[in-house]
Amino acid sequence: MRTIQAVAWKEIQIYFSSPVAYLVALIFLAVTGFFFVKDLTDPFPEASLSNLFFGASLVIVLLAPALTMRLLAEEQKLGTIELLLTSPVRDWEVIIGKYLSSLVFFLVLIGLTLYYPILLFIFGQPDPGPIYSGYLGLILYSGAALAIGILTSTLTNNQIVAFVVASGILLLLYFADTGTGVMGGTWSKLVTEIGMSSHFNDFEKGVIDTKNIIYFLSVTAFFLFLSIRALEYRRWR
Q: In the chain, what are the domain boundaries?
A: 2-236
What pLDDT, on a 0 to 100 scale, did the predictor assign at position 43?
65
Residue 209 CB contacts under 8 Å (≥ 6 apart), including other chains: 202
> Contact 3/93 with Cβ under 8 angstroms?
yes
The Cα–Cα gap between 135 and 7 comes to 27
The residues, any chain, with a CB within 8 Å of residue 70's CB and separated by 6 or more, are 20, 153, 159, 162
Predicted confidence at residue 73, as pLDDT, reads 84
Give me the pLDDT at residue 147, please: 96
Residue-level pLDDT at 82: 67
Using DSSP, how many helices (H) and how many strands (E) does the chain show?
12, 0
How does pLDDT run along the chain (237 residues), one tens digit per residue? 788 888 888 889 988 888 888 999 999 999 999 988 887 776 666 767 888 999 999 999 999 999 999 888 887 777 677 666 667 778 888 899 999 999 999 999 999 999 999 988 888 788 888 999 999 999 999 999 999 999 999 998 899 999 999 999 999 998 877 655 555 567 667 777 788 888 898 898 888 999 999 999 999 999 999 999 988 887 666
Indicate the pTM of the whole model: 0.91
| pLDDT value at residue 97 | 93
163: CB partners within 8 A, 6+ apart: 65, 66, 69, 152
Q: Residue 76: its pLDDT value, please?
A: 77
Q: How far apart are CA 138 and CA 101, in angstroms?
A: 17
Q: What is the pLDDT of residue 198?
A: 84
The model's pLDDT over 127-151, given as tens digits with 9 standing for 90+, comes to 888 999 999 999 999 999 999 999 9
Which long-range contacts does 193-198 make (Cβ < 8 Å, 24+ apart)?
196/57, 196/141, 196/144, 196/170, 197/57
Q: Residue 225's pLDDT is what?
A: 96
